[in-house]
Amino acid sequence: MGVCPIRYLKDFSSSGLFLVISTDSQEKDLKMEGDYIKNMKIKILGSGQDAGIPHTGCYCDVCTRARKDTNYRRLGPSIAVFDKKEGFCYFIDASPDFKYQLDMVREYVNIIRRKGIIPISGILLTHAHFGHCSGLWHLGLEVVDEKNLLVYCTQKMGELLRRDHPFNLLVQRKNIKIKEIQPDKEFELDGFRYVPIQVPHRNKVADTVGYIIKSKKRTIYIPDIDHWTDRIIEEIKTADIAIIDGTFYSKDEISRFDDVPHPPIKETIKLLEDVNTDIYFTHINHTNAINRNGKERKNVESKGFKIAHDGMIIDI
Ligand SMILES: [Zn+2]
Ligand SMILES: [Zn+2]
Ligand SMILES: [Zn+2]
């Protein structure tokens, strides 16, 4: 099977098929929102599953290759929503690779906007699993001892952060300041409007949300989900851009699938094949066949889907 760096695979997939032509109503919204909204973008900071690629303790061909050549690496799942001109930048999720991901947005942030050490404006959390919130620990006393970085999360997630170690220490020391959000209730941050939506996902300790990001386009980000629901399928269909769970290609690639269920890409592409939305798969596990330049990857791309990679920029 051929080997092909992710950067090369990126070019392989950029066919121009996915250019979105603005509708009249989108143009109208754009004018109403003012000029700066034109510069809003998303950067994929990590396209890997929680532990990324290489995966912890794994020496499969995909992980071995990623250790040798960082072009094949996928960091923990996170995106930046930013406007370079305005100098603001929000992360969705704080992955274990948070320190590397901050380096990936240095050119977009305006440090004088904040008095803290971390130059981003805030972090929006999806849920309490390792890959999505453990990066917060970098903000504590042992690392940067940050001051009041805004962390947006649901009430249940907020309770967990206030209650459980090590996050409770970050709250007590005011390294982070929790801002509670509610599913289906829109909120605005520096001109970005977000709607959190509830997501079915192994919610043993808190709950899980995805985010609809409203700019001149409508973007939905759902990195982690157990199974697609009618509501979420409808949200994907009505979005311009969807960046969604592509953890596994098929159910049989992992023996403990039932413990960590995700909708396999093989089934998702059948479900969403006729949808007009630009769909990107992210949260990609090291076992996923699309990490190789083989028939599975070709199947995904030939049907008009994209595969996210670290550093990818998407206009929103
Ligand atoms: Zn995850
Ligand atoms: Zn591996
Ligand atoms: Zn999860």
Domains present along the chain, CATH in parentheses? 36-315 (3.60.15.10)
Average model confidence (pLDDT) across the chain:
88
Q: How far is CA 245 from the centre of its chain?
A: 9
Please say if the pLDDT value at position 10 is more than 90.
no
Q: Which is higher by pLDDT, 2 or 41?
A: 41
Ligand nearest to the CA of 202: 3
Instruction: Convert the pLDDT of each residue in 101-152 to its tens digit.
Output: 999 998 887 655 566 678 899 999 999 999 999 999 999 999 999 999 999 9
| b (16+ CB within 10 A) / e for 6-23 | beebbeebeeeebeeeee
Residue 97 phi/psi, 5-degree rounding, is -95, 25
**Ligand 2 center–CA 69 separation, angstroms:** 14
Q: What is the pLDDT of residue 109?
A: 79
> What's the pLDDT band for 243 if we cut at 50, 70, 90?
very high
Span 65-94, average pLDDT: 94
Cβ 249 vs Cβ 296: under 8 Å: yes
Q: Which of helix, strand or coil describes residue 62?
A: helix
Q: Which whole number is the average pLDDT over 150-179?
A: 98
Q: How confident is the model at residue 190 (pLDDT cuts 50, 70, 90)?
A: confident
- The alpha carbon of 59 and the centre of ligand 2 are apart by a number of angstroms equal to 5
Distance 230 CA to ligand 1 centre (A): 21
Torsional sign, CA 298, 44, 183, 175: positive
- Residue 129 CA, chain-centre distance (Å), reads 13
Kindly state the average pLDDT of the residues 289-298: 97
Identify the nearest ligand to the CA of 131 by its number.
1
How big, in percent rounded to 5, are the helix, strand and coil portions of the chain? 30, 20, 45
157-161, 166-170, 201-205, 309-313: which has the minimum mean pLDDT?
201-205
How far does residue 33's CA lie from ligand 1's centre (Å)? 33
What is the pTM assigned to this prediction? 0.89
Question: What ligand is nearest to the CA atom of residue 64?
Answer: 2
Per-residue pLDDT tens digits for 32-48 = 344 445 688 999 999 99
For residue 19, pLDDT over 50 is answered with no
Which DSSP helix (H) or strand (E) runs through 279?
strand 278-282
**Tokens 């990490």 sit at which residue?**
291
Q: Where are the beta strands (DSSP E) in 64-164?
A: 78-83, 88-92, 122-124, 149-153
Ligand closest to 49 (CA) is 1
Sheet containing 278-282: order of strands: 187-189, 192-198, 209-214, 218-222, 241-245, 278-282, 306-307
What average pLDDT does the segment 70-89 reach?
92
Distance CA 69, CA 274 (A): 36
**What's the CA-to-centroid distance between 286 and ligand 2, angstroms?**
5
Pairwise pLDDT comparison (1 vs 262), residue with the higher score? 262
pLDDT at 185 over 80: yes
